[in-house]
Amino acid sequence: DQQVKQNSPSLSVQEGRISILNCDYTNSMFDYFLWYKKYPAEGPTFLISISSIKDKNEDGRFTVFLNKSAKHLSLHIVPSQPGDSAVYFCAASETNFGNEKLTFGTGTRLTIIP
């Protein structure tokens, strides 16, 4: 049972335009959400996160939006740059005073076209 879903395996965007990556989840106990970026042969790198008490969090070119009623979150990258080409993973966890293990989606490969 895939509790975190990224339904778009790939996405191509022109340099300078907005990239929008989507993620859906089914577990209503999830209350902390993260986006990681991964280059080939490297571990995931943390990008941005959002707690369920918020609906938006912004960090430079990256903004994450959370729609709790729809169990949906999205990552906006604007403007997109060639260095943004990577696989992006959405992840979720339950707030815990200890183990906050992450449940990941299957990833979306983003390609920025120069």
Partner 1 sequence: DTGVSQDPRHKITKRGQNVTFRCDPISEHNRLYWYRQTLGQGPEFLTYFQNEAQLEKSRLLSDRFSAERPKGSFSTLEIQRTEQGDSAMYLCASSYDRMNTEAFFGQGTRLTVV
> Under the rule (CB under 8 A), what is the footprint of partner 1?
4, 32, 34, 36, 41-46, 49, 51, 89, 91, 95-107
Smallest distance, partner 1 to C-beta of residue 17, A? 26
Closer to partner 1 by CB, 65 or 104: give it: 104
**In whole angstroms, how far apart are CA 100 and each of 22, 49, 91?**
22, 14, 11
Smallest distance, partner 1 to C-beta of residue 21, A? 13
Parallel, antiparallel or unpaired: strands 19-25 and 10-14: unpaired
Closer to partner 1 by CB, 8 or 49: give it: 49
Closer to partner 1 by CB, 14 or 96: give it: 96
Smallest distance, partner 1 to C-beta of residue 40, A? 11
SS3 71: coil
Smallest distance, partner 1 to C-beta of residue 49, A? 6
Token pair 């815990």 in the structure block, residue: 96
**In whole angstroms, how far apart are CA 73 and each of 11, 18, 59?**
16, 16, 16
Judge contact between 64 and 54, C-beta under 8 A: no
Closer to partner 1 by CB, 17 or 54: give it: 54
Structural Rg of the chain based on CA atoms: 14
